[in-house]
Amino acid sequence: MLVFTLAVVAAVGAVFAAAFLFRKSRHGAEDRGPASTTAGHAGSMLSSLFLLAFAIAIVVPWTTADSARQNTEAESQSIVDAYWAAAALPAPAGTQVQASLRDYVRFVVDHEWKLMAKGRLSQEGWARLDALRAQVTNLRVSGTAAETARSTFLDRIRDMSSARGQRAVDAKSQPPQGLMALTVVTAILVCAFPFLAGARPRGMALIPAAAMAAMLTVGIYVAFDISHVFRGALRVKPDAFTAAQQEFPRIPESR
């Protein structure tokens, strides 16, 4: 932060130093008023900086949300595959494992999803997953089919754990605060720049200025609204897990 502040101070100082030296050397012409070359150049550069910051503030959350949505689909598919593998485990252990998977999905949808909007996952969810892994690891089975089913189930549990870890990362993911602050500051400067440059719009000229301010305000609101993957307009919903719940009834139970 100190380096950034010093860089800003140095840049501003360089501008004033250059203006002072050129004035002393009497090089160039007076440049005053809102239609001056300096005002036009500064206005275009300021607009470009705002557009760059705003584009990043929109694209980054959009991309993150799309990746998080794909990850939840992969996680739910791993759960369904594990449920199929549990069907081949001997009863009553297989039945218990299937019931635990149903409870896990219900827990994620009904309870954990609300916590993810706050940027974290529940420790209980990890405990449930670890209990499932330990239960099947310690299960004694006989026969090629049962051995294969247990191995497949443990592979799917590993996939679930990996996808859950990525979901935890996605829940914490947000654009850098400095980027959001830069977007807000440049938006304010874009709105205020004509007045800072000396323009005094009157009458109908105020309408485009007001419309620009309104649109920038809406744009900033949208940028903040979609800044988190699991809340806001672009939030990832538990649709993939709900689909898994709907698929469970068609999968045979362990016998």
pLDDT tens digits along 58-81: 888 889 999 999 999 999 999 999
- Locate 251 and state its tokens: 């999968």
pLDDT of residue 210: 84
Q: Across the chain, which distance is largest between two alpha carbons, in Å?
A: 96
- Could you tell me if 120 and 230 are in contact, meaning their C-beta atoms sit under 8 angstroms apart? no
Residues 6+ apart with CB under 8 A from 98: 83, 86, 87, 248, 251, 253, 254
Separation of alpha carbons 187 and 49, rounded Å: 9
Distance of CA 20 to the CA centre of its chain: 46
Separation of alpha carbons 93 and 99, rounded Å: 10
What single-letter DSSP state applies at residue 249? G
pLDDT of residue 140: 82
Q: Among 153, 148, 163, 142, which Cα is nearest to 96's?
A: 153
- Could you tell me if 163 and 78 are in contact, meaning their C-beta atoms sit under 8 angstroms apart? yes
pLDDT of residue 158: 94
The low-confidence residues of the chain, meaning pLDDT below 50, are 3-4, 7-8, 10-12, 14-16, 18-19, 22
How far does the chain reach from its first CA to its final CA, in angstroms? 63
Range list of H helices, the chain: 2-24, 37-87, 93-107, 113-116, 123-137, 144-172, 177-196, 206-225, 239-247
Separation of alpha carbons 123 and 164, rounded Å: 12
For tokens 């006989």, what's the residue?
A: 142
pLDDT of residue 41: 61
Q: Among 53, 83, 160, 72, which Cα is nearest to 116's?
A: 72
Separation of alpha carbons 136 and 16, rounded Å: 72
pLDDT of residue 124: 93
